[in-house]
Amino acid sequence: MIVSFGSVKGGVGKTACCMNIAYSISKKYKVLVVDFDSQGSATHHISAKVGRNLKASIGDVLSGKCSLEKATHHYGQKMYVVPVNYDFYESIDEDRSYT
């Protein structure tokens, strides 16, 4: 099952809900949180727990530099996170086409 959190309004608790609900579900089921947010808020949430050495990110996975497995960091008992980094979004900005 894939669950996504979205709202056109900023600062309404999307990231907080995502991380809290993911953590709650992970008490029973395996959960993978994938951070696609350019602000990297979910990544900041986990960096204190997982450590600062988040070398592989979702950008590395999508650009074929590493496997999803390598970019997946263990957070809690059944909770895993794929972090984001700014390099990924810089590359998207370069590629973005305006119509």
Ligand X SMILES: Nc1ncnc2c1ncn2[C@@H]1O[C@H](COP(=O)(O)OP(=O)(O)OP(=O)(O)O)[C@@H](O)[C@H]1O
The answer to whether residue 41 forms part of the interface with ligand X (CB under 6 A) is yes
Taking the complex as a whole, how short is the minimal distance between the CB of residue 35 and ligand X, in angstroms?
A: 11
What does the alpha-carbon distance between residue 60 and residue 26 come to, in Å, rounded to a whole number? 25
**Of 24, 20, 86, 8, which Cα lies nearest the Cα of 54?**
86
* H or E, element range at 62: helix 58-62
- Interface segment toward Mg ion; rule CB under 5 A; list 7-15, 43-51, 71-79, 83-91: 7-15
Contact call for residue 72 and ligand X (CB under 6 A): no
Q: Is 71:84 a contact under the CB 8 Å cutoff? A: no
Q: How far is the CB of 48 from ligand X (least distance, A)?
A: 14
Does 15 engage in binding with Mg ion (CB under 5 A)? yes
Which residues of the shown chain bind ligand X in the complex (CB under 6 A)? Answer: 10-16, 37, 39, 41
